[in-house]
Every structure is written in structure tokens, then in C-alpha cells.
Amino acid sequence: MNIHITGCGIAGITTALALSESNNNIIIWEKEKLPGMYATSKNAAIFRTYESDPTLSFIAKQSYYEIEKIEKTEGPLLNKTGIFIDPMEYDYHETPYLKKFPDASAISSEKKRIELPGGKSIEGLYLASNGVLDTHALVSILMKKIIANGVTINFNSEITSLETDQKIISFTVNSNQIINLNDNDIFINAAGSWAPSLLKKNQQWAPPVIPHKRHLFFIKGATPLPVSIPVIWSEKQDFYIRPETGGFLASHCDQKACNPDDYNSDPKEVNNFLNALLYHYPFFEDYRIAKYWACIRTFALDHHPVIGYDPFINNLFWVSGWGGRGMTIATGIINNIKDIFFKNLKTPFSPERFI
Ligand SMILES: Cc1cc2nc3c(=O)[nH]c(=O)nc-3n(C[C@H](O)[C@H](O)[C@H](O)COP(=O)(O)OP(=O)(O)OC[C@H]3O[C@@H](n4cnc5c(N)ncnc54)[C@H](O)[C@@H]3O)c2cc1C
């Protein structure tokens, strides 16, 4: 069987890893010249195991263990600066999870008050073992693994059209190379923000996976803050900020539905960001924006990933809608992908939940 995967972002890479231990021929088609050039390399890289969504909660915690395993051979990936969260919704799965896996106590949260400069403080939950993930190192480690497992990766290869009936019959690469699928072949759609449009171009059904734009800002100051701060993620203020070499990376958590290829930043968001930053954290008044960019988070309507066989096209498998947690869940979701693919399991991730 040939398994064709569209997209070499974190979703395509982890899918290739999940399926590459079997005896199948796996081929990734990526339109850019390098892996992960969109959401996978332009995100905030915050790794948090505290997750209110019951399904994602377990997977995020599982990811922590997988990251620890990788670190044993590959060196540090997670900096564990600690995350302070002021949550909107609680992770009711933390206590049962810790009861079931007592040696997981490293990922437990504790109530804490954080003192900030200027006599300010905030209260919430603190996770000492969470922090910032080295996403570039993670991608290169996973790429090495899939190459070692025999996966072929074709860069500069955009899938420009599909020929479909009740199955995908063929697809075209760079508008000139036609690849015909054999009877058992599977086509996997891991095209990030482009995933639905790849099918809709062809008037085919696609799950409601909607691209949303978000901006990130790197700020720098002439003098360091008088206290060191961990990653601060206030869901109530809709704002996060974290230390980054030479400054801080922050977002006012804007999100606007957008076209799949609209990666342009919007200068209007600069004012919105500065207003939010200085309102919540006035001690950054001497800081300046050194760089900012926009990138796209792609969500299904219920904010769960979409992983499973298409309900109408039987050789099409979706790995899409990884939203705002894709880097965190990547290592923990590999076994789920394998089970759903090989056992055709129906799960809360199945695309057919939308029909
Ligand atoms: C601003 C921002 C902040 C974020 N912060 C965090 C965070 O702190 N923590 C966290 O865990 N997650 C975070 N995320 C989420 C995370 O980055 C995403 O969930 C994840 O990267 C999605 O991966 P993907 O592989 O689905 O998409 P992508 O990385 O976009 O990959 C899709 C790939 O498909 C390719 N492609 C598309 N169409 C075609 C085609 N027709 N032919 C060939 N190739 C094609 C693209 O070139 C691309 O390489 C953030 C995301 C954003 C945007």
C-alpha cells in the first residue's frame, strides 16, 4: 500500500511517524522547500499539560512522557521555566490522571501567586514542569526518525488538484505530474490551513475546519525586568507572555477567521496588542516591539482535532484542525493516529461527527 501525505508540518510528520513502522510505502508531498514553514515554525511553542478539554487533557499529559523519552537520547527539548495559568476552565482530569499514574506528579499544578514588578501580582495555577518547547529541534528529531523509517519526502511539490469519485483516483503535483492511486492506496490530508480547500476546490465535502489568524510579538527592553517571570498565560485576560532569548514573546490572543493562505500581518493589531500589554503589564512601558508576525491556527468547530477516514471518500484520511495546541499534543497523539488509521476506530476526532 502507498500512503500519500499532503503537508510536512507537525501533523504530517507525526502521522508519517505513526504509520512508518508498518510495511507501507509512505510519501510526503510538501509545497515548500523545508518542513514546517507555516504554523509549525511560527507558533509560541508553549507546552502545557494543563488542559480543560477532557480528550486533549490526556493526550497533552501523554506528550510530556514522550518528550521526556526523546530527551533521554536527544538532549533537552522542554525548558521547564514553569507556566503560570489563570484558567477560564479547570482541568478536572488532573487529579484522576495523577491517581492513575502516581509517578506523573511532575506535571501537577499548584495554586500560586506570582509577584510582578511595580507591586503587582496575579493568582492562579503554577506548573513547574511545563514551559517552552524547542519546536525546531523536535521537528528535526522527528524528521530524522521518519527518514530512518524509510519515508520519502518530496519538497517543492504542491498538490494542485485531485481527481475524485467515491475515492481519490489521482492527484496532480505542481500542475504537471499526475500520480495515480492503486486500489489500496490512501491519501492523507495534513495540509494545515489549506486542508479543507484542497477538497472543496473539487466540490467535495470537507469537515468544518476553519483557519484563524493570530499575531505574535517579540518585545525587547533596554534593561532587564527586576524579577524573572515564568510563562504567564492568563485566559481571563486573553493574554500570554513568555521569556524568549533577549526579550519576551507575547500575544493578545487575537483570532479572526481568514483565508487559508492569508499569512499577512495586520498593522492594526499592533495598537490592540500594545493596549492590552500596557493595561495588564504596565512595567513593560520601556519595551519596544522588535518583530511581529501573523500565523494561522486551524480549528474544527468543536476545537477537537479531525483525525480519521472521510465519510464519503473511502481512501481519504484527515489529520487536520490541530488548532492552538498542535506542538503540545504532537508526541502524545501518535498512538491515537496509528489506532484510528489501522483499526478504523471511531473517536471524538472522527470527521463524520460533523455530518
Ligand atoms: C500564532 C500561533 C501560536 C501558536 N502557539 C502554540 C503554542 O504555544 N503551543 C502549541 O502547542 N501550539 C501552538 N500553536 C499551534 C501549532 O503551531 C499548530 O497546531 C500546528 O503547527 C499545526 O500543524 P499542521 O501540520 O497542521 O499545519 P502546518 O504547520 O501549517 O503544516 C501544513 C503543511 O502543509 C503544506 N501544504 C499545504 N497545502 C499543500 C499542498 N496543496 N501541497 C503540498 N503541501 C501543502 C504547507 O506548506 C505546510 O507545510 C500556535 C499556532 C499559531 C499560528
Report yes or no on 276 lying in a domain: no
Q: Tell me if 277 is assigned to some domain.
A: no
What distance in angstroms lies between residue 184's CA and the mean position of ligand 1's atoms? 28
**Is the Cβ atom of 305 under 6 angstroms away from ligand 1?**
no
Q: What angle do CA 211, 326, 260 make, to 5 degrees?
A: 20
pLDDT tens digits for range 253-312: 999 999 999 999 999 999 999 999 999 999 999 999 999 999 999 999 999 999 999 999
pLDDT digits (tens, 9 = 90+) for 27-54: 999 999 999 999 999 999 999 999 999 8
| CA dist., res. 246 & res. 228, Å (int) | 13
Q: What is the Cα–Cα distance from 8 to 39, expressed in whole angstroms?
A: 11
- The residue range of the domain holding 24 is 1-45+134-208+301-355
Please give the number of the atom of ligand 1 that sits closest to the Cα of 296: 53
Residue 198 CA, closest ligand 1 atom number: 41
Atom of ligand 1 minimally distant from the CA of 12: 25
12 Cβ closer than 6 Å to some ligand 1 atom: yes
Atom nearest to 13 CA in ligand 1: 25
Answer yes or no: is 220 within a domain.
no
Q: How confident is the model at residue 22 (pLDDT cuts 50, 70, 90)?
A: confident
- The reply to whether 63 falls in a domain is no
Report residue 351: phi and psi, to 5°: -55, -30
Determine which residue's CA is closest to atom 19 belonging to ligand 1: 326
341: in domain: yes
Asked if residue 169 belongs to a domain, the reply is yes
pTM equals 0.97
| Pocket lining: 11 vs ligand 1, CB cutoff 6 Å | yes
| Residue 31 Cα to ligand 1 middle (Å) | 13
Closest Cα to atom 52 of ligand 1? 43
Nearest CA to ligand 1 atom 51: 43
Give the domain CATH number at 331.
3.50.50.60
Domain tally, the chain: 1
* Residues 111-144 pLDDT 10s: 999 999 888 899 999 999 999 999 999 999 999 9
> In whole angstroms, what is the distance from residue 217 CA to residue 266 CA?
12
Between CA 313 and CA 317, with CA 314 as vertex, the angle to 5 degrees is: 85
Q: Would 329 be classed as within a structural domain?
A: yes
Does 231 fall in a domain?
Answer: no
Whether ligand 1 lies within 6 angstroms of the CB of 6 is answered as yes
226 CA distance to ligand 1 middle (Å): 35
Atom of ligand 1 nearest to the CA of 29: 43
